[in-house]
Structure 1
């Protein structure tokens, strides 16, 4: 009976993790399909409007270390619940006061909230599912991908029914569902993330060479994701697509991403070569960017398929890295905070850079070159990570 209750509790926890993860992308990814409309309506430059993606991603990096502080002071359950409320409430506010200042402020605090939630969820997975981390990371990344897919696919549709402020605000409803499930999860006996059965000093990431490689890898794959989510539709609109058609291509990309979110963790469970699956994912990405460079609109559809598989595959691989490297949940929290903190700061530069260069040169040709350079750099760091070198200093 006790075993059945424990299994049921863990099943509820999986559902709660999934619905929490659904909330961690729509406030950012919903901006892409209506980016040009927001820019025109509010009289903004491309650099200014790109801040709506760059600021939350930067905050996701800057404030990730606060996950350790929040967990120790408030506990995981209360911390995540409060931050989900923040995300939902500020998303709703966008529909009530659709000004650039409100959009920027909400982006800042939403990014801060996501920054703290993400390491806590990774540590929760490591502590409660130590033998099934690959599968649970698949659930978590699938939730993130589904949130991005729904928001990119339906924001444009909602816009045709109402207007862009209400289209953005509608995604706050996801927070209500997540909270209902999250409050039913039983909080662990100890507020700390450390496994009571594990003793000894922690595994600090700050002087570990592999941790820094992981940080850069995470930042590069995240930069590719947020840049694609933000700028793929504007790139295609510049090439002659309508807003709805470009949104449909974006939806194809994020839908295929879901396949990668699920299939790569499943494949890793059976064939655990991280390097092989990373290179396969990057090969698809290089092919997709190459198709976009050909300036044929019909090629945008297979390009979206290739890019979707790349984004869906790289993210769970990046999430698994700190979990593979550590045994204790507390160490996972520390490593994830550092890797995602620095990684998101790196990735926040990319969407803004695209807008900056587009304002200066009036073309997205350089954008596609930048995307391809990220593929090359990701391959380089994947190779470095395949070599088992541990510490920067001894």
Structure 2
């Protein structure tokens, strides 16, 4: 059983005091990093029908392609705390941005193998950013954790919405080139590298920071509730980012209109991402919020699959409310259930490592069901099942407890 008081052998770590200007710059930089962690998924979604037409990629292959970066999120997430322990979280994020830029650019070379390789590289980089952002927020903004969680999850949703809305117009400008549409998203990554690199190089090295060993996390029931909540809501999210536009195009919408519907749905997520963490922190627990959001997100997605196209915008907004709230709360419970930034990094690695490996099944199953049946209609049962499981795991993760772990300082050494 998790308890309301953690077993920790020393006080929670915190960052040295920063000036107000430095704190604002750090907060803005974290938001810019977060913005770059989602266009990879939504940009491919809007161009997927064009990629299928102009390459040898099959529907099943498209399912594997949309699943690959999500699977990489799970495979590489556990490595992020270890790398950060050696070179520091700031330099680790800088390395991740460089790999993200490289992988995104590689997807624009035009070959199917490059699509898969670039997606894998970018997925590994995004996994690192996903894990370390909650830890940095816990360390540097412990007094404003809810606000900062809302802001960077808002930036994540903004990046996904931008990818859905702008990728197809960018491709149209360059003679309907899906290659340019995908590769263009390496440019924002390059820009944030320019902003982040000076801060990363000025940060303390890992050797000068406290080194701690966290044990017992994988045996803690609460940690598993947080992990399943993260993974199952992510399965829904990547079904949306990977398949919403193809679903709408199969139902009869044009490419640009389908992209706009997806973008509006994701932009609604921006609002709920910003508001819900601040509101949820005012309650004793988040059980009802998590469970309700899971059902709303699933019902909205099912409505987009079956409801008349005349009401598609309303269903898109409803889905955005549920999905944006789910993602914000999944990130928020990592912070709320952790006693300090070291535990937050390890809980984040566990939740996003195992969780995203689980999440990869969502878009994969949508692709396989489409390949077997020739349509997306059978996916409705998948969306309903995911929604119910999200509600159940969210109920457990929303309890007002801390994970029960042992967090002990180890001898510092140079990595």
Q: Distance in 1 between matches of 2:355 and 2:343?
A: 18
Q: Distance in 2 between matches of 1:295 and 1:362?
A: 19
Q: Distance in 1 between matches of 2:90 and 2:298?
A: 41
1:36 aligned onto 2:41: no
Task: Summarize the alignment of residues 209-228 of structure 1 with structure 2, pairs less than 5 Å apart.
Answer: 209-228=221-240
Task: Summarize the alignment of residues 138-153 of structure 1 with structure 2, pairs less than 5 Å apart.
Answer: 138-153=150-165
CA deviation after TM superposition for structure 1 residue 294, in Å: 3.6
Q: Does 359-368 or 334-343 show the bigger shift?
A: 359-368
Any conservation in 1 of the 2:286–2:395 contact (CA below 8 Å)? no
CA deviation after TM superposition for structure 1 residue 285, in Å: 2.0
Any conservation in 2 of the 1:204–1:331 contact (CA below 8 Å)? no
Task: Summarize the alignment of residues 1-394 of structure 1 with structure 2, pairs less than 5 Å apart.
Answer: 6-95=19-108, 97-162=109-174, 163-185=177-199, 187-189=202-204, 191=206, 202=214, 204-271=216-283, 273-387=285-399
Question: CA separation of 1:106/1:213 partners in 2, compared to 1, >3 Å: closer, same or farther?
Answer: same
Any conservation in 1 of the 2:290–2:395 contact (CA below 8 Å)? no
Q: Aligned to 1:131, what secondary structure does the other structure show?
A: helix
Any conservation in 1 of the 2:110–2:179 contact (CA below 8 Å)? yes
Any conservation in 2 of the 1:16–1:185 contact (CA below 8 Å)? no
Cα RMSD (Å): 2.4
Any conservation in 2 of the 1:194–1:328 contact (CA below 8 Å)? no
Q: Distance in 2 between matches of 1:94 and 1:294?
A: 33
Q: Aligned to 1:132, what secondary structure does the other structure show?
A: helix
TM-score, reference length from structure 1: 0.92
Any conservation in 2 of the 1:31–1:52 contact (CA below 8 Å)? no
Q: Distance in 1 between matches of 2:289 and 2:84?
A: 33
TM-score, reference length from structure 2: 0.87
Question: CA separation of 1:72/1:46 partners in 2, compared to 1, >3 Å: closer, same or farther?
Answer: same
Any conservation in 2 of the 1:203–1:326 contact (CA below 8 Å)? no
User: Any unmatched runs of 5+ in structure 2?
Assistant: 1-15, 406-415
Any conservation in 1 of the 2:290–2:398 contact (CA below 8 Å)? no
User: Any unmatched runs of 5+ in structure 1?
Assistant: none
CA deviation after TM superposition for structure 1 residue 176, in Å: 2.0
CA deviation after TM superposition for structure 1 residue 391, in Å: 7.9
Q: Distance in 2 between matches of 1:118 and 1:99?
A: 28
Q: Aligned to 1:202, what secondary structure does the other structure show?
A: strand
TM-superposition CA deviations, 1:208-258 (whole Å, max 9, x none):
011111111111110101111111111111211111221111111111111
